[in-house]
Structure 1
Amino acid sequence: MSIQSSIQARDTFSSTTIRSILSDVYAADKANTDNKIDSSTIVSLIRKATARRIDSAAQFSQAARPDLAEKEQREADFLSQFLPPLLPEAEIDQILRDVIPEQTSQFQGDPRRALGQVLKAFYAKVDRSSVDPNHVKRRAEALLLE
């Protein structure tokens, strides 16, 4: 179901969920006074909103509130249909293996000190919205220690 059709069909679940995301997008756009936000920022906002809902669903489940947990999980599932797939781990590793030698050459003693430069070079090649930043950091740390 598209955004416009769910609002026009007066589907309260879909339209409420979409409006909450639009509120986040408008706030981010207003905070960015330089120019309009790009699509990768919008994807990041949707990913964060989905993650928040998944976390909330888990907390509601632990608090014995299955009704609220189910609502949050439904919203997370609904939002996830608007997200592009994340890069596979093998592709992330390959890109990291390409940038690590370039960035670690100046840090001969401790390659972990190069982590910031490795991540910077990685994100110069890859859109942030197509990866989980925490996963990329863990993979970079693991590859630096090899």
Structure 2
Amino acid sequence: MSETTLKEQLRADLNQARRDRDKLRTTVLTGFLADVRNKEIELGREASDDDVTGLVTTAIKRRRDSADQFRAAGRTELSDKEEQEAAQLQGYLPPALGEAEVLAMIRAAIDGGAKDIGGVMKAVSPQVKGRFEGRELNRLAREALA
């Protein structure tokens, strides 16, 4: 039996959301699948699970940034909507890594010869992509190098 791709899972969830008449989920998934299609056109090939995961990460980050801006402007209803959309997409990311796991990866990179922040980030970033916040990774790496 073949394993379904992330894109196939998104399409199946969109169809289910339509059957359930879940307006928020339908809107989020429709827009996101359009982003996936645009990425495929840009790449000139079918999007891999890694490509889709990267798009999910970017979409969540974009929505959280928008939510922060709306909140700062006093538009809590729009801020709440963006947060809900980010939460809908969060379920498509692989399980998040804990700080201890990431710290172990950072130490392994340092033991492997990474002497500066650039070397550590280059070694660890691909391993944690979509599973740990880049800003936090940078902070942990700087602390470990200090």
Q: Which runs of 5+ in 2 are unaligned?
A: 1-11
* Identity within the alignment, %: 29
Runs of 4 or more above 3 Å deviation: none
Residue in structure 2 matched with residue 80 of structure 1 by the alignment: 90
Please state if 1:118 is matched with 2:120. Answer: yes
Q: Aligned-pair RMSD on alpha carbons? A: 2.2
Q: Number of matched residues?
A: 135
Q: Over residues 79-138 of structure 1, what are the superposed CA-to-partner deviations in whole Å (9 max), with x where a residue is unaligned?
A: 22222221111011111111212224xxxxxx4xx32222222246x1522222222222
- TM-score under structure 2 length normalisation: 0.78
Residue in structure 2 matched with residue 99 of structure 1 by the alignment: 109
Cα distance in 1, alignment partners of residues 40 and 77 from structure 2: 33
Larger radius of gyration: 1
- TM-score under structure 1 length normalisation: 0.78
Contact 2:97 2:128 in 1 (8 A): no
Residue in structure 1 matched with residue 135 of structure 2 by the alignment: 134
Q: Which runs of 5+ in 1 are unaligned?
A: 105-110
Cα distance in 2, alignment partners of residues 76 and 123 from structure 1: 22
**Letter matched to residue 122 of structure 2:** K
Residue in structure 2 matched with residue 6 of structure 1 by the alignment: 17
Cα distance in 1, alignment partners of residues 72 and 133 from structure 2: 25
**Letter matched to residue 101 of structure 1:** D
Residue in structure 2 matched with residue 51 of structure 1 by the alignment: 61
Cα distance in 2, alignment partners of residues 139 and 62 from structure 1: 28
- 2:85 counterpart SS class: helix
